[in-house]
């Protein structure tokens, strides 16, 4: 089976997709990513904006209705869930292998 | 105070705006010129992005994200491209980008803009050539561009007065079309410089 060309996901993309399992607007994504990564990934606004733009283009996330007239809200798509799952499997395999050899 | 200046490097532009703020000039608007308001000298942190938005809603969403993250949008419109931000609080100097790829990508966007602008002028130039609107004789016999009767028979002060008076008109008559190829070249140069800066930034130099 050919591996999806979007794999492996970058650390920031992985956390953004994880954060968007629930709908969120831009700044909320930044906060969630920081929280999920235990403070390791602190994204700046300009970088997040570009990342969201790319994910929309790849159809891994989509805009949803927002109560806030200024802030757009996004959520993960089925395609996004699928790529997230595949990257999870990829990393789990790496961990298992590492554990077998080094553990 | 207004100042006209031109930059091809965002980092230099940011540094210049910070230096102006230290002298007590805070950026308030940017159109063709930079407009500054006189303030108490301050250690500000200005940062720039380059983006053109399809809709007003996209632009508002973009500004809201930056405001939420501690940046005041100072200047820039939906389609101006350059967006100017100033860090709101007195925290340490932060950047609006947290990785080199996104910091470099703004150069890619401005390079693409200059390139497409240059391309817009190419068909116009082609039309001028194909309709023979460009007169090559202007180069070979520039005398023909002067319409003053008997100009070339005059001499001394009379001649120079009439000659110098008509020269600007003769120049426009013969060479106005040159603006178009010159613009194409200038825009191409800007596109190239931005592209170079893009690659340089990407390599983290």
Please write the tens of the pLDDT for every residue from A52-102: 999 999 999 999 998 888 999 999 999 999 999 999 999 999 999 999 999
Cβ distance A70 to B60 less than 8 Å, yes or no, reads: yes
- Kindly report the number of other CB atoms within 10 A of residue A39's CB atom: 8
The 8-class DSSP code of residue B191 comes to H
Q: Which CATH class is domain A11-102?
A: mainly alpha
When the pLDDT of each residue in chain B is averaged and rounded to a whole number, the result is 90
Residues B114-143: tens digit of each pLDDT:
999 999 999 988 888 888 777 777 777 788
Residues B141-172: tens digit of each pLDDT:
788 888 888 888 888 888 898 889 988 888 88
Contact list in A for residue B96 (CB cut-off 8 A) is: 44-47
Residue with tokens 């426009």: B172
SS3 of A5, please?
coil
Contact list in B for residue A44 (CB cut-off 8 A) is: 69, 94-98
- Kindly report the number of other CB atoms within 10 A of residue B71's CB atom: 25
Beta-strand ranges (E) seen in A29-97 are 61-64, 73-76
When the pLDDT of each residue in chain A is averaged and rounded to a whole number, the result is 94
Provide Rg for chain B, Cα atoms. 24
- Which of A27, A42, A44 is opposite residue B68, by nearest beta carbon? A27
Does A76 contact B at CB distance below 8 Å? no
- Which of B49, B60, B68 is opposite residue A46, by nearest beta carbon? B49
Residue with tokens 């600007």: B168
Cβ distance A71 to B99 less than 8 Å, yes or no, reads: no
Residue burial B103-114, b: 16+ Cβ < 10 Å; e: rest: bbbbbbbbbebb
Does A51 contact B at CB distance below 8 Å? yes
Contact list in B for residue A42 (CB cut-off 8 A) is: 98
- pTM for this one? 0.86
Task: Report the residue of A15, A45, A73 to disrupt the B interface, i.e. the one with the largest count of B CBs within 10 Å.
Answer: A45
What do you get for the CA distance between the two ends of chain B, in Å?
35
The pLDDT of residue B82? 95
Does A43 contact B at CB distance below 8 Å? yes
Distances (CA, A) of B121 to A89, B99, B107, B115, B180: 52, 35, 22, 10, 7
Measure CA A79 to chain center: 12
Q: What angle do CA B74, B80, B82 make, to 5 degrees?
A: 55
Strand order in the sheet with A24-25: A24-25, A73-76, A61-64
């Amino acid at each position: 089976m050919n591996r999806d060309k979007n794999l492996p996901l970058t650390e920031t993309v992985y956390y953004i997709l994880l954060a968007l399992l629930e709908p969120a607007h831009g700044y909320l994504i930044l906060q969630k990513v920081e929280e999920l990564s235990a403070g390791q990934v602190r994204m700046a606004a300009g970088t997040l904006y570009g990342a969201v733009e790319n994910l929309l283009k790849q159809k891994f996330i989509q805009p949803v209705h927002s109560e806030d007239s200024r802030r757009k809200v996004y959520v993960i798509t089925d395609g996004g869930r699928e790529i997230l799952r595949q990257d999870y499997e990829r990393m789990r395999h790496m961990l298992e292998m590492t554990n077998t050899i080094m553990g | 105070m207004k100042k006209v200046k031109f930059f091809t490097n965002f980092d230099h532009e940011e540094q210049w705006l910070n230096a102006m703020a230290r002298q007590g000039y805070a950026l308030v608007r940017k159109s063709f010129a930079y407009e500054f308001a006189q303030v108490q000298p301050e250690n500000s942190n200005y940062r720039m992005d380059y983006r053109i938005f399809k809709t007003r809603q996209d632009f508002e969403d973009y500004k809201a994200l930056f405001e939420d993250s501690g940046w005041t949008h100072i200047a820039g419109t939906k389609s101006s491209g350059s967006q100017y931000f100033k860090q709101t609080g007195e925290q340490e100097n932060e950047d609006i980008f947290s990785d080199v790829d996104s910091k470099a990508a703004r150069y890619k966007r401005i390079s693409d803009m200059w390139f497409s602008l240059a391309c817009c002028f190419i068909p116009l130039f082609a039309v001028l050539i194909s309709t023979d609107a460009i007169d090559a004789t202007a180069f070979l016999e520039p005398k023909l561009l002067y319409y003053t009767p008997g100009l070339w028979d005059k001499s001394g002060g009379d001649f120079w007065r009439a000659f110098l008076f008509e020269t600007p008109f003769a120049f426009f008559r013969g060479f106005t079309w040159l603006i178009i190829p010159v613009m194409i070249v200038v825009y191409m140069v800007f596109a190239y410089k931005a592209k170079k800066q893009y690659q340089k930034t990407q390599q983290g130099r």
